[in-house]
Amino acid sequence: MKKVIVLNASPRKNFNTAQVLKEAQKGAQSVGAEVEYIDLFDIDFKGCRSCYACKIKGSKTKGLCAFKDDLRPVLEKILNSNAVIIGTPIYCGDATGVYRNLTERMIFAAIKYLKDEKTGVMQRELNYTIPIGIINTMGATEEQFNRTYLPEMIGMNEFLLKTAFGYCEVLNVFDTSHFTDYSKYDSSIFDGEYKKQVREKQFPKDLKKAFDMGKRLVEMNV
């Protein structure tokens, strides 16, 4: 049975990112995968410590970050999985800090500082592919998103995970609701009625895209 790890890098356990991730989970389950869903905010961990144990000559880390903390069992599960889906909200123009702490350690241990003579890019530590899906949820509209550096930033996250694990795809969910009832918050820069309509009309389409992503990653022949 194929194993999928779903990682929520949002502090909210049941709003935009979590809801989208849970649909991706259902998509993976619909084609027979066993899914483990993990809220990263429940785990005490930090980013890469720059110990370079994964780069030292003769290193035996084999793609697994050497630092022993509560993230390590999760990183081990990732390396033993058939697909991984990571969801993050966009905070202040970037993925959350927790997303970055995770991916620094996932990516850095899984790439070598050695050039692949054929491709000219860094060699991978793993000799197998783990398809990765990134889901970014954000309050910005697609049009606002395209006016910023976010496409390049997200493209870099995608490129690095693809380099390390062999395959990566991205789903961006735009124009999400910040809260369910805008009238309760000082938030005149947003139109609560418009946001409600987006949530009713567009969000279900994004949930469907996430379901399809979960299914597709499991069905990939790698």
21 binds ligand FMN (CB under 6 A): no
Of the candidates 5, 106, 100, 123, the residue with the CA atom closest to the CA atom of residue 64: 106
Q: In 3-state terms, what secondary structure has residue 3?
A: strand
Query: Which one of the spans 27-35, 37-45, 88-96, 114-122 is the region binding ligand FMN (CB under 6 A)?
Result: 88-96
Q: Residue 160 and residue 157: Cα distance in Å, rounded?
A: 5
C-alpha distance from residue 153 to each of 4, 49, 168 (Å) = 25, 22, 15
The angle, 0 to 180 degrees and rounded to 10, between the axes of the packed helices 203-219 and 16-30 is 40
- Say whether residue 91 binds ligand FMN (CB under 6 A): yes
Nearer to ligand FMN, 1 or 92 (CB): 92
CB closer to ligand FMN, 65 vs 173: 173
Stretch that binds ligand FMN, among 54-62, 105-113, 131-139, 207-215 (CB under 6 A): 131-139
Q: Pick from 1, 58, 60, 92: which binds ligand FMN (CB under 6 A)?
A: 92
Q: CA 143, CA 218: separation in Å to the nearest integer?
A: 31
Selected from 77, 100, 112, 178, the binder of ligand FMN by CB under 6 A is: 178
Q: Interface with ligand FMN by CB under 6 A: which residues?
A: 10, 12, 15-18, 89-93, 137-140, 176, 178
